[in-house]
Structure 1
Amino acid sequence: MTVGLFIPCYIDQFYPNAAIATLNLLSKLGITVKYPVNQTCCGQPMANSGFEHLTKGCNELFVDNFAEFDYIVSPSGSCVLHIKDHLHSEGHEGKAKSIRKKIYELTEFLTDIVKVEKLEARFPHKVGVHQSCHGQRGLMMSQMTELVAPFYSKPLQLLNMVQDLELINLNRPDECCGFGGTFCVAEEAVSAKMGKDRVADHLNNGAEYITAADMSCLMHMEGILRRQESGVKVIHIAEILNSEG
């Protein structure tokens, strides 16, 4: 199995440790990982802003970089969902369709494809888990609380394998953080209030760290935590799953 590692632009620029942890974690599990050095933005910001017709270059580059791999894995649920739903290529539509079927967010890849049952990881802290909207409602990484259906959570399934980690209970476990990509720019006040509410739920329940499978949501909440001069930190789930304590 050869995996192409897709690292979204904002992780590459601002949170490289999440990318490094993803690579190291996959390698520890015996997976051959390659990183196409010419990759860049997947085009999601443009598409979300109503300019999908301008994403042709991003689409073609993505197909060129990732068509050859057995699987494509990324530490970003929102970017993965964008590729799954929107990647197309005028000249190579067959390759684009194939990519849409074999791209996975990291935790769903570990649970659904690798079927991880044990991790050698230790993280002795109280952790609150934020389930991003794209991951939950798009990739179906966890059950939605408004549905009368059995509970499941792929991120929690993996975090429960980490030694000494204490998961805290949230009052509203699948509430949106308010980031929403360009939404946080167009609706700044609403976005900020939603983020403050999301952060408060974690703080009120004793979190030392907030984790998620979407670094974009964590980036939004990190800004709020810093403005509040809070000691609570954000950390991508890959960093916890790869941690040795």
Structure 2
Amino acid sequence: MATHVRYDVVVVGGGSAGCVLAARLSEDEGRTVCLVEAGPDYGPNADGRWPAELLDPDDIPDSHQWHADESPYQPLRAKVLGGCSAHNACFLVWAPAADYDAWGDGWTAADLAPFIRRAQETMAPQPVVYSRDDFSPWFGATVDAADELGLPFLGDVNEPASGVGVGTGPFNIAEGVRWNAAFAYLDPARRRANLTIMGDALADRVVLDGDRAVAVATNDGIVEGERIVLAGGAIGSPCVLMRSGIGPERELRALGIDMASPMD
């Protein structure tokens, strides 16, 4: 692990997207990258320091959820390196082609296909695929009920021709372990001298110099960067932006936050 006063790129959020970004950006030896994660970093999978519940693919753990004291069930957000990929159901499912096609030029299903294949090969080079004989009684009954309603069973929901139905798909499980984004992308990159991973570093806001982001304020101090990339997810990234004064003007002023860039 390297330490730098100022980085070329600071990635905020070590979840499913942040792990990929930090690994890919640090492939350039001339670019220093710092990955800032609010939750713990247990190190490489091979070190054996990861909690057992995060490795078990047969359960959805709640030990690393956000705001655990405020709700008995909030497993959709994980506060740990790897993010939601460290505690989700390991279901490696892509969106229907029509969804990607609606994103616009350069983002169609055809455009994204090679990158989706590469992501699947990285996350699950030998994905686990369950047959009907492997289904739990509950899921088996669900499939049978769906069939009675005219929803066919799909052997692989990721097949382009699958259509509407009920079924299964590949799971990112490797040798009985939930293979999260930290294992798949960061472990091969950890020895790079230009990559720093900061665990237990909660990002509060982006530090601005005029209209340019120049640093991130965390509970562990200021992390400066030529470029700041927010990868905190659908909830985390907007919160960081709003605390930085970037967002709906009426809401931010009501919270006593100085405006930096209204986005109404």
- TM-score under structure 1 normalisation? 0.26
Computing the radius of gyration from Cα coordinates, the structure with the larger value is 2
Higher helix share: 1
- TM-score under structure 2 normalisation? 0.25
